[in-house]
Amino acid sequence: MTKKKNRLPTEPVQAFGTNPFDDLETDGLSSLPSRSLDEVSPKIKVSESECLGKGERLEVRREKSGRGGKTVTTVRGFPSRFTQNDFKRMLKGLKSRLGTGGGWRDDQMEIQGDQREIVCDWLSAMGFEPVLAGG
């Protein structure tokens, strides 16, 4: 004869639909956030020494063609007075701010991903006048 094995019960211990957070204390906690999300995100601030723009218009666009389906944000229209050091410093600051990669190609800055809004805010803080171009 075979021995009967002990099996785990299949009936639920708790009824379905109970909230595991009911026992937590909420004394002193507000039910709504104190500030809206627009107030929480700080505006980009750049020191006076880093302001390279003097109101120049730059085109910021999202491109996807010719990149194997990857989306990049391009910025073009930089003035001819910029040196290679200015370009490198701008690109390094923007890449570290966004946490993405990027580079220079054909006199335009390329940033990985669709970062148009943040790039426009950053360029405005740098003293440029960014314009969203394209679709």
Q: Would you tell me which CATH number, out of the four given (1.10.4160.10, 3.30.1300.10, 3.40.190.10, 3.30.780.10), belongs to the domain 62-132?
A: 3.30.780.10
pLDDT score of 107: 84
Q: Give the tens place of pLDDT for each residue, 71-103.
A: 999 999 888 888 888 888 888 988 988 899 999
Averaged pLDDT score across all residues of the chain = 79
* The two three-digit tokens of residue 13, written as one number: 């211990």
Q: Where are the domains of the chain?
A: 62-132
Listing DSSP states for 83-128 in one string gives: -HHHHHHHHHHHHHHHT--EEEETTEEEEESS-HHHHHHHHHHTT-
Condensed to tens digits (0 to 9), the pLDDT of residues 1-37 reads 677 788 877 766 656 667 777 778 777 777 766 665 5
The phi-psi region of residue 125 (left if phi > 0; otherwise alpha if psi is between -120 and 50; otherwise beta) is alpha
* β-strands 129-132, 57-63 pairing: parallel
The residue to which tokens 């701010």 are assigned = 97
Provide the edge-to-edge strand list for the sheet that holds 72-76: 102-105, 108-112, 72-76, 57-63, 129-132
* DSSP assigned state of 75: E
